[in-house]
Chain A
Amino acid sequence: MPTPHGGKLVSRTLTKQERKRALETASSLEKLNVPPAIASDAENIAKGVFSPLEGFMTREQLETVLHLMRLPDDTAWTMPILLDVSKEKAEKLDEGDDFTLYHNNQPLALLHLEEKYTFDKDELAKRTFGTLDLAHPGVTMIRNLGPTFLGGKITLINEPKTPYDKYKLEPMETRILFEEKGWKTVVGFQTRNPPHLGHEYVQKTALAFVDGVFVNPVIGKKKKGDFKDNVILEAYNTLMKNYYLKESIVMSILPFEMRYAGPKEAIFHAIVRKNFGCTHFIVGRDHAGVGNFYGPYDAQRIFENFPDLGISPLFFKSFFHCNRCGSVTNDKACPHDEKDHTNFSGTKIRKMLSQGQIPPKELMRPEVADVITRHVNPFVE
Protein backbone atom coordinates (compact mmCIF):
# COMPACT_ATOMS: atom_id res chain seq x y z
CA MET A 1 0.00 0.00 0.00
CA PRO A 2 1.52 3.37 -0.92
CA THR A 3 2.16 5.92 1.79
CA PRO A 4 -0.40 8.73 1.49
CA HIS A 5 0.84 11.73 -0.48
CA GLY A 6 3.04 13.89 1.71
CA GLY A 7 3.53 11.02 4.19
CA LYS A 8 0.31 11.09 6.19
CA LEU A 9 -3.41 10.67 5.58
CA VAL A 10 -5.01 13.94 6.61
CA SER A 11 -8.08 13.78 8.82
CA ARG A 12 -9.88 17.01 9.62
CA THR A 13 -13.05 15.37 10.86
CA LEU A 14 -14.47 15.29 14.38
CA THR A 15 -15.55 12.78 16.98
CA LYS A 16 -19.20 12.90 18.11
CA GLN A 17 -18.31 14.93 21.19
CA GLU A 18 -16.07 17.35 19.29
CA ARG A 19 -18.76 17.76 16.63
CA LYS A 20 -21.35 18.69 19.24
CA ARG A 21 -19.06 21.43 20.55
CA ALA A 22 -18.19 22.58 17.02
CA LEU A 23 -21.87 22.91 16.13
CA GLU A 24 -22.42 25.14 19.14
CA THR A 25 -19.44 27.27 18.16
CA ALA A 26 -20.42 27.33 14.48
CA SER A 27 -23.76 28.99 15.10
CA SER A 28 -22.11 32.00 16.75
CA LEU A 29 -19.54 32.62 14.00
CA GLU A 30 -19.67 34.64 10.80
CA LYS A 31 -21.23 32.52 8.03
CA LEU A 32 -20.20 31.94 4.47
CA ASN A 33 -22.43 30.00 2.05
CA VAL A 34 -20.44 27.89 -0.39
CA PRO A 35 -21.45 26.22 -3.67
CA PRO A 36 -21.35 22.43 -4.23
CA ALA A 37 -17.84 22.46 -5.76
CA ILE A 38 -16.33 24.13 -2.67
CA ALA A 39 -18.32 21.82 -0.39
CA SER A 40 -16.85 18.80 -2.21
CA ASP A 41 -13.34 20.23 -1.94
CA ALA A 42 -13.82 20.81 1.79
CA GLU A 43 -15.00 17.23 2.27
CA ASN A 44 -12.10 15.89 0.22
CA ILE A 45 -9.60 17.92 2.24
CA ALA A 46 -11.09 16.80 5.54
CA LYS A 47 -11.16 13.11 4.64
CA GLY A 48 -7.63 12.96 3.28
CA VAL A 49 -8.53 12.63 -0.40
CA PHE A 50 -6.40 15.75 -1.00
CA SER A 51 -3.63 14.82 1.50
CA PRO A 52 -1.38 16.56 2.42
CA LEU A 53 -3.65 19.63 2.12
CA GLU A 54 -5.32 20.49 5.41
CA GLY A 55 -7.24 23.46 4.13
CA PHE A 56 -7.78 25.88 1.28
CA MET A 57 -4.56 27.21 -0.18
CA THR A 58 -2.67 30.19 1.14
CA ARG A 59 -0.88 32.51 -1.25
CA GLU A 60 2.47 30.80 -0.72
CA GLN A 61 0.95 27.39 -1.50
CA LEU A 62 -0.80 28.76 -4.58
CA GLU A 63 2.36 30.43 -5.87
CA THR A 64 4.60 27.38 -5.55
CA VAL A 65 1.89 25.18 -7.13
CA LEU A 66 1.52 27.54 -10.08
CA HIS A 67 5.26 28.15 -10.56
CA LEU A 68 6.80 24.80 -9.61
CA MET A 69 3.90 22.32 -9.55
CA ARG A 70 4.87 21.68 -5.94
CA LEU A 71 3.74 22.68 -2.46
CA PRO A 72 6.14 24.82 -0.41
CA ASP A 73 7.68 21.67 1.16
CA ASP A 74 8.48 20.31 -2.35
CA THR A 75 5.64 17.76 -2.38
CA ALA A 76 4.31 17.38 -5.91
CA TRP A 77 0.98 19.19 -6.42
CA THR A 78 -0.50 20.67 -9.57
CA MET A 79 -4.01 21.99 -8.94
CA PRO A 80 -5.03 25.13 -7.05
CA ILE A 81 -7.61 24.35 -4.36
CA LEU A 82 -9.13 27.72 -3.59
CA LEU A 83 -11.90 29.31 -1.59
CA ASP A 84 -13.06 32.56 -3.16
CA VAL A 85 -15.33 35.24 -1.72
CA SER A 86 -16.75 38.59 -2.70
CA LYS A 87 -15.00 41.79 -1.64
CA GLU A 88 -17.88 42.66 0.71
CA LYS A 89 -17.70 39.29 2.43
CA ALA A 90 -13.90 39.42 2.67
CA GLU A 91 -14.13 42.74 4.51
CA LYS A 92 -16.15 41.09 7.26
CA LEU A 93 -13.56 38.38 7.89
CA ASP A 94 -10.36 38.87 9.85
CA GLU A 95 -7.23 36.78 9.56
CA GLY A 96 -6.78 34.65 12.66
CA ASP A 97 -10.52 34.23 13.20
CA ASP A 98 -12.66 31.13 12.70
CA PHE A 99 -15.85 31.22 10.71
CA THR A 100 -18.39 28.72 9.42
CA LEU A 101 -18.82 27.46 5.88
CA TYR A 102 -22.44 26.63 5.11
CA HIS A 103 -23.78 24.41 2.37
CA ASN A 104 -27.48 23.79 1.69
CA ASN A 105 -28.33 25.72 4.88
CA GLN A 106 -26.29 23.30 6.99
CA PRO A 107 -23.00 24.09 8.72
CA LEU A 108 -20.38 22.32 6.61
CA ALA A 109 -17.01 23.17 8.15
CA LEU A 110 -15.08 25.59 10.29
CA LEU A 111 -12.45 27.60 8.46
CA HIS A 112 -9.51 28.79 10.54
CA LEU A 113 -8.67 31.82 8.43
CA GLU A 114 -4.92 32.15 8.09
CA GLU A 115 -4.78 34.55 5.19
CA LYS A 116 -7.00 36.50 2.83
CA TYR A 117 -5.42 37.63 -0.40
CA THR A 118 -6.01 38.65 -3.98
CA PHE A 119 -4.35 37.07 -6.98
CA ASP A 120 -4.18 37.99 -10.65
CA LYS A 121 -6.85 35.85 -12.32
CA ASP A 122 -5.16 35.86 -15.71
CA GLU A 123 -1.97 34.51 -14.17
CA LEU A 124 -3.98 31.92 -12.26
CA ALA A 125 -5.78 30.77 -15.43
CA LYS A 126 -2.71 30.85 -17.65
CA ARG A 127 -0.53 28.88 -15.26
CA THR A 128 -3.28 26.34 -14.47
CA PHE A 129 -4.75 25.79 -17.92
CA GLY A 130 -2.06 27.16 -20.24
CA THR A 131 -4.57 29.46 -21.91
CA LEU A 132 -6.73 32.53 -21.40
CA ASP A 133 -9.26 31.41 -23.99
CA LEU A 134 -12.76 31.73 -22.56
CA ALA A 135 -13.80 28.67 -24.56
CA HIS A 136 -11.90 26.69 -21.91
CA PRO A 137 -14.40 25.97 -19.10
CA GLY A 138 -11.64 26.27 -16.46
CA VAL A 139 -10.74 29.78 -17.61
CA THR A 140 -14.38 30.85 -17.44
CA MET A 141 -14.64 29.29 -14.00
CA ILE A 142 -11.65 31.34 -12.77
CA ARG A 143 -13.05 34.53 -14.32
CA ASN A 144 -16.25 33.97 -12.33
CA LEU A 145 -14.49 33.56 -8.98
CA GLY A 146 -14.79 36.20 -6.31
CA PRO A 147 -11.84 38.64 -6.06
CA THR A 148 -10.51 37.49 -2.66
CA PHE A 149 -9.19 34.09 -1.68
CA LEU A 150 -9.27 32.67 1.83
CA GLY A 151 -6.49 30.35 2.95
CA GLY A 152 -6.47 28.22 6.06
CA LYS A 153 -7.15 24.84 7.61
CA ILE A 154 -10.67 23.50 7.83
CA THR A 155 -12.53 21.18 10.18
CA LEU A 156 -15.48 19.28 8.71
CA ILE A 157 -18.70 19.40 10.72
CA ASN A 158 -21.25 17.81 8.35
CA GLU A 159 -20.66 15.76 5.22
CA PRO A 160 -22.29 17.20 2.13
CA LYS A 161 -24.91 14.66 1.07
CA THR A 162 -25.27 13.19 -2.39
CA PRO A 163 -27.94 10.78 -3.64
CA TYR A 164 -25.12 8.27 -4.10
CA ASP A 165 -23.62 8.15 -0.62
CA LYS A 166 -23.77 4.35 -0.54
CA TYR A 167 -21.02 4.53 -3.18
CA LYS A 168 -18.90 7.04 -1.25
CA LEU A 169 -15.79 5.72 0.46
CA GLU A 170 -13.02 7.75 2.05
CA PRO A 171 -9.32 6.89 1.69
CA MET A 172 -9.15 5.22 5.07
CA GLU A 173 -12.02 2.95 4.01
CA THR A 174 -10.61 2.05 0.59
CA ARG A 175 -7.22 1.32 2.15
CA ILE A 176 -8.80 -1.08 4.63
CA LEU A 177 -10.97 -2.54 1.86
CA PHE A 178 -7.99 -3.21 -0.42
CA GLU A 179 -6.13 -4.80 2.47
CA GLU A 180 -9.18 -6.94 3.30
CA LYS A 181 -9.34 -8.09 -0.32
CA GLY A 182 -5.66 -8.99 -0.20
CA TRP A 183 -4.78 -6.52 -2.95
CA LYS A 184 -1.14 -5.45 -2.84
CA THR A 185 -1.34 -3.62 -6.16
CA VAL A 186 -4.36 -1.58 -7.25
CA VAL A 187 -4.90 0.43 -10.40
CA GLY A 188 -7.07 3.54 -10.21
CA PHE A 189 -9.42 4.41 -13.07
CA GLN A 190 -10.83 7.90 -13.36
CA THR A 191 -14.03 8.28 -15.33
CA ARG A 192 -16.95 10.58 -16.06
CA ASN A 193 -18.68 8.35 -18.60
CA PRO A 194 -20.50 5.03 -18.72
CA PRO A 195 -18.10 2.30 -19.83
CA HIS A 196 -17.66 1.29 -23.45
CA LEU A 197 -15.57 -1.66 -24.57
CA GLY A 198 -12.44 0.49 -24.86
CA HIS A 199 -12.62 1.35 -21.15
CA GLU A 200 -13.19 -2.28 -20.25
CA TYR A 201 -10.25 -3.36 -22.38
CA VAL A 202 -7.92 -0.84 -20.72
CA GLN A 203 -9.02 -1.91 -17.23
CA LYS A 204 -8.67 -5.61 -18.01
CA THR A 205 -5.27 -5.11 -19.62
CA ALA A 206 -4.15 -3.35 -16.44
CA LEU A 207 -5.63 -6.21 -14.40
CA ALA A 208 -3.09 -8.53 -16.00
CA PHE A 209 -0.44 -6.70 -13.95
CA VAL A 210 -2.21 -5.75 -10.72
CA ASP A 211 -4.47 -7.37 -8.13
CA GLY A 212 -7.49 -5.09 -8.45
CA VAL A 213 -9.14 -2.20 -10.29
CA PHE A 214 -10.53 0.78 -8.41
CA VAL A 215 -13.12 2.52 -10.61
CA ASN A 216 -13.62 6.01 -9.27
CA PRO A 217 -16.24 8.02 -11.22
CA VAL A 218 -16.31 11.76 -10.69
CA ILE A 219 -19.69 12.87 -9.42
CA GLY A 220 -20.81 16.47 -9.43
CA LYS A 221 -21.51 19.38 -11.72
CA LYS A 222 -21.01 18.46 -15.36
CA LYS A 223 -21.30 20.07 -18.75
CA LYS A 224 -24.56 20.03 -20.69
CA GLY A 225 -24.71 16.81 -22.72
CA ASP A 226 -22.57 14.80 -20.26
CA PHE A 227 -24.05 11.61 -18.83
CA LYS A 228 -26.01 11.99 -15.59
CA ASP A 229 -24.33 10.62 -12.46
CA ASN A 230 -26.95 7.91 -11.83
CA VAL A 231 -26.60 6.68 -15.42
CA ILE A 232 -22.83 6.29 -15.02
CA LEU A 233 -23.20 4.37 -11.77
CA GLU A 234 -25.96 2.07 -13.08
CA ALA A 235 -23.95 1.38 -16.24
CA TYR A 236 -20.83 0.45 -14.21
CA ASN A 237 -22.83 -1.73 -11.83
CA THR A 238 -24.21 -3.64 -14.81
CA LEU A 239 -20.79 -4.06 -16.40
CA MET A 240 -19.22 -5.22 -13.14
CA LYS A 241 -22.03 -7.69 -12.46
CA ASN A 242 -21.87 -9.27 -15.91
CA TYR A 243 -18.23 -9.02 -16.97
CA TYR A 244 -15.93 -8.77 -13.92
CA LEU A 245 -14.91 -11.00 -11.08
CA LYS A 246 -16.25 -9.52 -7.86
CA GLU A 247 -12.81 -10.13 -6.32
CA SER A 248 -11.08 -7.93 -8.88
CA ILE A 249 -13.00 -4.66 -8.97
CA VAL A 250 -14.30 -2.00 -6.60
CA MET A 251 -16.21 1.16 -7.45
CA SER A 252 -16.72 4.23 -5.33
CA ILE A 253 -17.48 7.82 -6.27
CA LEU A 254 -15.36 10.94 -6.09
CA PRO A 255 -17.43 14.10 -5.49
CA PHE A 256 -15.39 16.66 -7.41
CA GLU A 257 -15.89 19.30 -10.06
CA MET A 258 -13.70 18.63 -13.08
CA ARG A 259 -11.40 21.52 -14.00
CA TYR A 260 -10.37 20.14 -17.42
CA ALA A 261 -6.74 21.11 -16.83
CA GLY A 262 -5.44 18.22 -18.94
CA PRO A 263 -1.85 17.26 -17.96
CA LYS A 264 -1.88 19.06 -14.60
CA GLU A 265 -5.19 17.49 -13.69
CA ALA A 266 -3.83 14.06 -14.66
CA ILE A 267 -1.12 14.44 -12.01
CA PHE A 268 -3.71 15.61 -9.52
CA HIS A 269 -6.00 12.65 -10.32
CA ALA A 270 -3.06 10.30 -9.75
CA ILE A 271 -2.29 11.90 -6.36
CA VAL A 272 -5.93 11.51 -5.29
CA ARG A 273 -5.93 7.81 -6.23
CA LYS A 274 -2.63 7.32 -4.40
CA ASN A 275 -4.37 8.64 -1.30
CA PHE A 276 -7.15 6.08 -1.83
CA GLY A 277 -4.42 3.41 -1.75
CA CYS A 278 -3.78 2.82 -5.46
CA THR A 279 -0.29 1.82 -6.57
CA HIS A 280 -1.00 2.47 -10.26
CA PHE A 281 -3.10 4.90 -12.25
CA ILE A 282 -4.43 4.66 -15.80
CA VAL A 283 -3.72 7.65 -18.03
CA GLY A 284 -5.32 7.49 -21.44
CA ARG A 285 -5.47 9.76 -24.44
CA ASP A 286 -6.18 13.44 -23.65
CA HIS A 287 -6.81 12.70 -19.97
CA ALA A 288 -8.91 15.45 -18.35
CA GLY A 289 -8.67 17.48 -21.54
CA VAL A 290 -11.30 19.56 -23.26
CA GLY A 291 -11.59 20.60 -26.93
CA ASN A 292 -8.16 20.85 -28.51
CA PHE A 293 -6.42 22.69 -25.68
CA TYR A 294 -3.92 19.90 -24.98
CA GLY A 295 -2.00 17.47 -27.16
CA PRO A 296 -3.36 13.91 -27.14
CA TYR A 297 -0.51 12.57 -25.01
CA ASP A 298 0.54 15.68 -23.01
CA ALA A 299 -1.12 14.18 -19.94
CA GLN A 300 1.22 11.19 -20.19
CA ARG A 301 4.40 13.16 -20.89
CA ILE A 302 3.99 15.39 -17.82
CA PHE A 303 4.63 12.40 -15.53
CA GLU A 304 8.33 12.55 -16.60
CA ASN A 305 8.63 15.60 -14.34
CA PHE A 306 7.47 13.72 -11.26
CA PRO A 307 9.84 10.85 -10.44
CA ASP A 308 8.80 11.16 -6.80
CA LEU A 309 5.03 10.95 -7.28
CA GLY A 310 4.73 7.61 -5.47
CA ILE A 311 2.17 6.11 -7.86
CA SER A 312 3.01 4.47 -11.18
CA PRO A 313 1.15 5.74 -14.22
CA LEU A 314 0.04 3.18 -16.81
CA PHE A 315 -0.11 4.83 -20.20
CA PHE A 316 -2.55 3.66 -22.83
CA LYS A 317 -2.94 4.71 -26.42
CA SER A 318 -6.31 4.90 -28.13
CA PHE A 319 -8.01 1.58 -28.60
CA PHE A 320 -10.40 0.62 -31.40
CA HIS A 321 -12.28 -2.44 -32.55
CA CYS A 322 -10.74 -4.10 -35.61
CA ASN A 323 -13.09 -6.19 -37.73
CA ARG A 324 -10.25 -8.29 -39.10
CA CYS A 325 -8.59 -8.87 -35.71
CA GLY A 326 -12.08 -9.50 -34.37
CA SER A 327 -11.16 -7.76 -31.13
CA VAL A 328 -10.33 -4.53 -29.39
CA THR A 329 -6.76 -3.52 -30.21
CA ASN A 330 -4.56 -0.49 -30.91
CA ASP A 331 -2.19 0.80 -33.52
CA LYS A 332 0.80 -0.83 -31.83
CA ALA A 333 -0.73 -4.27 -32.23
CA CYS A 334 -3.02 -4.15 -35.25
CA PRO A 335 -1.55 -4.42 -38.78
CA HIS A 336 -4.86 -3.79 -40.59
CA ASP A 337 -6.16 -0.82 -42.47
CA GLU A 338 -8.13 1.98 -40.86
CA LYS A 339 -11.24 1.02 -42.82
CA ASP A 340 -11.44 -2.11 -40.66
CA HIS A 341 -11.40 -0.08 -37.47
CA THR A 342 -14.31 1.21 -35.39
CA ASN A 343 -13.22 3.94 -32.98
CA PHE A 344 -14.62 4.35 -29.50
CA SER A 345 -15.86 7.83 -30.18
CA GLY A 346 -17.68 9.22 -27.15
CA THR A 347 -19.51 11.68 -29.39
CA LYS A 348 -20.70 8.92 -31.71
CA ILE A 349 -21.83 6.68 -28.85
CA ARG A 350 -23.62 9.59 -27.17
CA LYS A 351 -25.39 10.47 -30.42
CA MET A 352 -26.63 6.91 -30.92
CA LEU A 353 -27.84 6.63 -27.34
CA SER A 354 -29.58 10.00 -27.49
CA GLN A 355 -31.54 8.71 -30.49
CA GLY A 356 -32.52 5.61 -28.52
CA GLN A 357 -30.26 3.39 -30.63
CA ILE A 358 -28.22 0.59 -29.09
CA PRO A 359 -24.54 0.97 -30.14
CA PRO A 360 -23.05 -2.12 -31.82
CA LYS A 361 -21.72 -4.76 -29.43
CA GLU A 362 -18.19 -4.03 -30.68
CA LEU A 363 -18.50 -0.63 -29.00
CA MET A 364 -20.61 -1.19 -25.92
CA ARG A 365 -21.88 -4.20 -23.99
CA PRO A 366 -25.61 -4.66 -24.82
CA GLU A 367 -26.49 -4.86 -21.11
CA VAL A 368 -24.79 -1.50 -20.49
CA ALA A 369 -26.47 0.11 -23.49
CA ASP A 370 -29.81 -1.28 -22.33
CA VAL A 371 -29.44 0.32 -18.88
CA ILE A 372 -28.62 3.69 -20.45
CA THR A 373 -31.46 3.67 -22.97
CA ARG A 374 -33.97 2.82 -20.25
CA HIS A 375 -33.54 6.43 -19.07
CA VAL A 376 -35.81 8.87 -20.86
CA ASN A 377 -32.92 11.33 -20.93
CA PRO A 378 -29.55 10.00 -19.76
CA PHE A 379 -27.84 13.36 -20.33
CA VAL A 380 -27.36 16.53 -18.29
CA GLU A 381 -29.69 19.23 -19.62
Chain B
Amino acid sequence: MTKEKKEERKFTTVSIPTPLFKKVEQRIKDTGFTSVSSYVAYVLREIITEEEEEEPFSEEDKERVKERLRALGYID
Protein backbone atom coordinates (compact mmCIF):
# COMPACT_ATOMS: atom_id res chain seq x y z
CA MET B 1 0.00 0.00 0.00
CA THR B 2 1.41 3.44 -0.87
CA LYS B 3 1.95 6.05 1.81
CA GLU B 4 -0.76 8.28 0.29
CA LYS B 5 -3.27 5.43 0.39
CA LYS B 6 -2.41 4.72 4.03
CA GLU B 7 -2.91 8.38 5.00
CA GLU B 8 -6.19 8.48 3.05
CA ARG B 9 -7.50 5.60 5.14
CA LYS B 10 -6.77 7.42 8.41
CA PHE B 11 -8.40 10.78 7.64
CA THR B 12 -11.66 11.95 6.16
CA THR B 13 -13.03 15.34 5.11
CA VAL B 14 -15.64 17.34 7.00
CA SER B 15 -17.05 20.56 5.53
CA ILE B 16 -17.28 23.70 7.60
CA PRO B 17 -18.35 27.17 6.40
CA THR B 18 -15.47 29.20 4.95
CA PRO B 19 -15.94 32.15 7.35
CA LEU B 20 -15.71 29.73 10.29
CA PHE B 21 -12.59 28.18 8.79
CA LYS B 22 -11.04 31.66 8.54
CA LYS B 23 -11.97 32.48 12.13
CA VAL B 24 -10.35 29.27 13.31
CA GLU B 25 -7.28 30.06 11.21
CA GLN B 26 -6.97 33.40 13.02
CA ARG B 27 -7.56 31.81 16.39
CA ILE B 28 -4.79 29.22 16.09
CA LYS B 29 -2.12 31.71 15.06
CA ASP B 30 0.78 31.60 17.53
CA THR B 31 -0.62 28.54 19.27
CA GLY B 32 0.71 25.01 19.19
CA PHE B 33 -1.91 24.01 16.60
CA THR B 34 -0.41 23.59 13.16
CA SER B 35 -3.65 23.39 11.17
CA VAL B 36 -7.36 24.07 11.33
CA SER B 37 -7.90 20.31 11.10
CA SER B 38 -5.83 19.56 14.20
CA TYR B 39 -7.67 22.28 16.15
CA VAL B 40 -11.09 21.04 15.05
CA ALA B 41 -10.16 17.45 15.96
CA TYR B 42 -9.00 18.68 19.39
CA VAL B 43 -12.25 20.57 20.05
CA LEU B 44 -14.41 17.69 18.85
CA ARG B 45 -12.56 15.20 21.04
CA GLU B 46 -13.08 17.46 24.03
CA ILE B 47 -16.79 17.72 23.32
CA ILE B 48 -17.47 14.06 22.71
CA THR B 49 -15.54 12.90 25.78
CA GLU B 50 -18.31 12.13 28.20
CA GLU B 51 -18.25 10.47 31.54
CA GLU B 52 -19.38 6.91 30.97
CA GLU B 53 -20.95 4.83 33.65
CA GLU B 54 -18.39 2.50 35.12
CA GLU B 55 -19.26 -1.17 34.93
CA PRO B 56 -19.73 -2.29 38.52
CA PHE B 57 -18.01 -5.44 39.74
CA SER B 58 -20.21 -8.25 41.00
CA GLU B 59 -20.53 -8.74 44.77
CA GLU B 60 -18.86 -12.12 44.38
CA ASP B 61 -15.85 -10.55 42.62
CA LYS B 62 -15.64 -7.85 45.26
CA GLU B 63 -15.61 -10.32 48.13
CA ARG B 64 -12.98 -12.49 46.45
CA VAL B 65 -10.77 -9.46 45.82
CA LYS B 66 -11.23 -8.11 49.34
CA GLU B 67 -10.17 -11.45 50.76
CA ARG B 68 -6.92 -11.30 48.78
CA LEU B 69 -6.34 -7.65 49.74
CA ARG B 70 -6.80 -8.58 53.40
CA ALA B 71 -4.41 -11.54 53.08
CA LEU B 72 -1.78 -9.26 51.52
CA GLY B 73 -2.23 -6.61 54.23
CA TYR B 74 -3.69 -3.92 51.97
CA ILE B 75 -6.88 -3.69 54.04
CA ASP B 76 -7.71 -4.67 57.63
Residues of A within 8 A of B (CB): 1-4, 7-9, 63-64, 67-68, 74, 166, 169, 172-173, 175-177, 180-181, 250, 301, 304-305, 307-308, 310
Contact = CB atoms under 8 A, between A and B. Distances in A.
Contacts of B72: 166
Contacts of A305: 42
The 6 closest A-B pairs by CB, nearest first: A308-B49, A308-B45, A307-B46, A3-B52, A176-B65, A173-B65
B29 interface: no
Given A250-B74, A307-B42, A308-B45, A173 B54 contact: no
Looking at A8, A64, A177, which has the most chain B CB atoms within 10 Å of its CB? A177
Contacts of B75: 177, 180-181
A3 B74 CA distance: 23
Contacts of B61: 172, 176
A282 B14 CA distance: 36
A352 B8 CA distance: 55
17 contacts: A3-B53, A7-B52, A9-B55, A63-B10, A64-B10, A67-B6, A169-B69, A169-B74, A172-B57, A173-B65, A173-B68, A177-B65, A180-B66, A180-B75, A301-B32, A304-B32, A310-B49
Given A68-B10, A308-B46, A8 B55 contact: yes
B62 interface: yes
A2 B50 CA distance: 11
Interface string B33-74: 000000000100110110111110100011001101100101
Contacts of A176: 57, 61-62, 65-66, 69
Contacts of A9: 55
Contacts of B55: 8-9
A307 B45 contact: yes
Given A176-B57, A177-B75, A307 B65 contact: no
Contacts of B51: 3
B54 A1 contact: yes
A3 B50 CA distance: 10
A169 B65 CA distance: 10
Contacts of A172: 57, 61, 65
A1 B74 CA distance: 19
A63 B5 CA distance: 12
B35 to A, nearest CB: 13
A68 B38 CA distance: 11
B49 A307 contact: yes
Contact of A67 (B10, B54, B62): B10
A308 B52 CA distance: 12
Contacts of A4: 54
A308 B48 CA distance: 8
B74 to A, nearest CB: 6
A304 B61 CA distance: 37
Nearest to B55: A8
B69 A173 contact: yes
Contacts of B42: 305, 307
Contacts of A63: 6, 10
Given A3-B53, A176-B65, 4 more contacts: A74-B45, A176-B66, A176-B69, A177-B65
Contacts of A7: 52
Nearest to A168: B72
B64 to A, nearest CB: 9
A307 B39 CA distance: 11
